[in-house]
Amino acid sequence: MNEGSDGGSGGDNLFSDVDAGGGNDVFANRELLNIDHVPDQNRIVGRDDHIRELANEVGPAVTGVPPNSVILYGKTGSGKSLVANHVMERARDEAERRGNRLATVTVDCAQAKGEADTIQTVADSVNRPGTGVKVPTRGISTNEYYNRLWEILDREYDAALITLDEVDRLGDDNVLMLLSRAREAGKVDVPIGIISISNKVNFREQMTERVKSSLGHNEFIFDPYDGEQLRQILENRKDAFQEGVLEPGVIPKTAALAAQRHGDARKAIRLLRHAGDYAKNNGVGEVREDHLELAQEQAEVERLKELIAGLPPHSKYVLYALANLTSKTPDDRDWFRTTVIYDVYRKVCESEGTDDLTTDTVRGLLSELAFLEVTESNQEHGGMGKGTYKEHRLLWEPSVVFKMDPDPARVDVDQ
Ligand SMILES: Nc1ncnc2c1ncn2[C@@H]1O[C@H](COP(=O)(O)OP(=O)(O)OP(=O)(O)O)[C@@H](O)[C@H]1O
């Protein structure tokens, strides 16, 4: 028997500070601070109007009548997914109460790998054992996935609500087109409402006219939360902690820190959780304001790593180039031309012992980084006869970028 395991009814000491609710000395229910956690209705702060408006648009689905499709726009962490999931859940319950069957499903388009995968996810999650329809993960054509989805919907449901989260990551318009027009095209009898979610306010401009007209013109904008709303969101999850563990100033300070940076509820919740983890891991027994400082940078490093996880490795070298430039230039001059970044990027590659890529490829990497809002870019005019050029700026602290690796490339940026 391993040391520390008493093997009796007391269980293994190794896990002694874990209880069924994920509790310990610091946390009573850490789950409340998970980003995927969907809070109860009474814990949703400041989004009553959006909830009501969205329910008005998709509401007809509860009686099997065609709902309107809607696009929700807003910065990350402004509650778009939360509101969509909340309204869908209540719509499903209400449909059931009225004797109707409403299919509800959310697809994260950033995770789905193309059209077939997206439709497979939708079909699989609305499928029921009684349909006799199989939705394998591979081996059938995209068209066949659609056919199976229509079959399941027609057999089992009176209406469907499909949420496409991060819809701008879909890659092409086909999914939106086919789902929104399926009934009109006679593919399926069941009315389908689509809730599209995007962080990019200019996403609508990228859609083709055909898709725009099939999605309708219902758009809701989610403004970032202010400090007071963030404070309430955090207060509502205070019972994640054991009684008396949170110092009184911690929640207001967490809210203030998150409000400074984009009013992102996700960031606020994550920060509070990290501060709790810090207290727990260091056996401090209480969560203090100074733990937030320590937790903040770690939370940002994690978020940045998450954001760039799907990008090619050289995106990180481009980021290092920008971080090197930004950290060695006065604060008010943090915009850099592509060519300047490229020169420093080559030095980074040299220090990392890897071959550099072409300027065009680096330009593409910079666009991807701007799309993910790790950087921002703008077009500058060089003046008469000089044409235009692009400039880029890092939207994260260089110290956060450098902490992504134990030994990041710091290079000489003198040109
Ligand atoms: N009004 C709110 N009340 C309570 N919790 C909230 C509220 N808004 C957001 N949250 C919480 O913040 C986190 C992020 O919210 P959500 O996922 O809805 O944001 P989002 O706008 O969809 O962001 P993204 O575009 O990055 O997906 C979730 O854990 C959610 O529960």
N-term to C-term CA, the chain: 64
Burial of 18-40, coded b for 16+ CB within 10 Å and e otherwise, reads eeeeebeebbbbbebbeeeeeee
Atom of ligand 1 nearest to the CA of 165: 27
What count of residues does the chain have?
415
Question: Which atom in ligand 1 lies closest to the alpha carbon of residue 199?
Answer: 25
Contacts within 8 Å (CB) and 24+ apart, 15-23: 23/242
For ligand 1, atom 3, the nearest C-alpha belongs to 44
Q: Which residues of 118-133 are buried (b: 16+ CB within 10 A; e: fewer)?
A: bbbbbbbebbeeebee
Q: Name which residue sits closest to atom 13 of ligand 1, judged by CA.
A: 266
Q: Residue 191 to residues 86, 102, 147, 162: CA-CA distances in angstroms? A: 20, 10, 15, 11
| Neighbouring residues of 311: CB distance < 8 A, sequence distance ≥ 6 | 365, 368, 369, 372
Q: What separation in Å is there between the alpha carbon of 78 and the centre of ligand 1?
A: 5
Distance CA 197, CA 220 (A): 10
Task: Identify the top-confidence range among 124-138, 193-207, 272-286.
Answer: 124-138
Residue 345: partners with Cβ closer than 8 Å, 6 or more residues away = 317, 318, 320, 321, 356, 362
Tell me whether residue 292 is exposed, middle or buried, using C-beta atoms within 10 angstroms of its C-beta: 0 to 12, 13 to 18, 19 or more: buried
Ligand 1 centre to CA of 231 (Å) is 14
Q: Which two tokens stand for residue 106?
A: 């959310």
DSSP SS3 for 393: strand
110-114, 133-137, 195-199: which has the minimum mean pLDDT? 110-114
Residue 83 CA: nearest ligand 1 atom is 18
**Percent of the chain at pLDDT above 70?**
92
Ligand 1, atom 28, lies closest to the CA of: 35
Higher-scoring residue by pLDDT: 314, 14: 314
| Atom 7, ligand 1: residue with shortest CA distance | 79
Q: For the segment 387-399, what is each residue's pLDDT rounded down to a tens digit? A: 778 899 998 889 8
Joined together, the tokens standing for residue 306 give 């998450």
- Chain centroid to CA 226: 19
How many whole angstroms from 296 Cα to the centroid of ligand 1? 19
Of all atoms in ligand 1, which is nearest to the CA of residue 47? 1
Phi, psi dihedrals of residue 28, rounded to the nearest 5°: -95, -35
Looking only at the bridges linking them, the beta strands covering 375-381 and 388-394 are: antiparallel
Max avg pLDDT among 117-121, 213-217, 376-380: 117-121
Which atom of ligand 1 is nearest to 198's Cα?
Answer: 25
Give residue 8's pLDDT band: very low, low, confident or very high (50, 70, 90).
very low
Among protein residues, the one with the nearest Cα to ligand 1's atom 8 is 79
Residue 240 CA, ligand 1 centroid: distance in Å: 17
For residue 266, the CA-to-ligand 1 centroid distance in Å is 6
The least confident of 76-90, 248-262, 330-344, 401-415 is 401-415
Query: Which protein residue's CA is at the shortest distance from atom 26 of ligand 1?
Result: 76
- If we measure between CA atoms, which residue out of 322, 323, 327 comes closest to residue 340? 322
CB atoms within 10 A of CB 279: 24
Cα of 168 to ligand 1 centre, how many Å? 18
- Return the residue matching tokens 């509650």: 79
Cα 8 to middle of ligand 1, angstroms: 43
The distance of Cα 254 from the centroid of its chain, to the nearest Å, equals 20
DSSP code, position 77 = T
Calculate how far, in angstroms, residue 186's C-alpha sits from the geometric centre of ligand 1: 37
CATH numbers and ranges of domains, the chain: 13-38+225-308 (1.10.8.60), 46-222 (3.40.50.300), 313-402 (1.10.10.10)
The tokens describing 327, both together, are 């950290």
- The answer, yes or no, to whether ipTM is higher than 0.90 is yes
Q: Which of 82, 111, 195, 235 to mutate to test the pocket of ligand 1 (most atoms within 8 A of CB)?
A: 82
82 Cα to the center of ligand 1, angstroms: 5
Mean pLDDT of 286-311: 84
167 neighbors 196 (Cβ within 8 angstroms) = yes
Site to substitute for ligand 1 among 35, 45, 198, 266, most atoms within 8 A of C-beta: 266
> Predicted confidence band at 7 (pLDDT cuts at 50, 70, 90)?
very low
Q: How far apart are CA 127 and CA 125, in angstroms?
A: 6
Query: In this predicted structure, what is the pLDDT of residue 2?
Result: 44
Q: Taking 90 as the threshold, does the pLDDT of residue 114 lie above it?
A: no
- At CA 42, angle to CA 41 and CA 46, rounded to 5? 90
- For ligand 1, atom 1, the nearest C-alpha belongs to 45
What's the CA gap between 187 and 194, in Å, rounded?
Answer: 16
Per-residue pLDDT at 42 exceeds 80 = no
* Residue 12: pLDDT over 80: no
What's the pLDDT at 382? 63
Annotated binding site: 78-82, 225, 237
152: enclosing H helix or E strand: helix 142-156
Give the integer Cα–Cα distance in Å for 254 and 231.
8
pLDDT tens profile 175-188: 988 998 899 899 99
Q: What's 251-279 look like in SS3?
A: HHHHHHHHHHCCCCHHHHHHHHHHHHHHH
Q: Binding site membership for ATP: which residues? A: 78-82, 225, 237
- Using alpha carbons, list the distances in angstroms from residue 48 to 77, 96, 164: 16, 23, 21
Question: Which protein residues touch ligand 1 with a CB less than 6 Å away?
Answer: 35, 37, 39, 43-47, 74, 76-82, 199, 233, 265-266, 269
b/e code 309-325 from CB counts within 10 Å (16+ = b) = eebeebbbbbbbbbbbb
Question: What DSSP character marks residue 414?
Answer: -
Q: Cite the beta strand spans of 248-372 per DSSP E.
A: 335-337
Among 20-24, 74-78, 411-415, which stretch is predicted with the lowest mean pLDDT? Answer: 20-24
Amino acid at 326: T
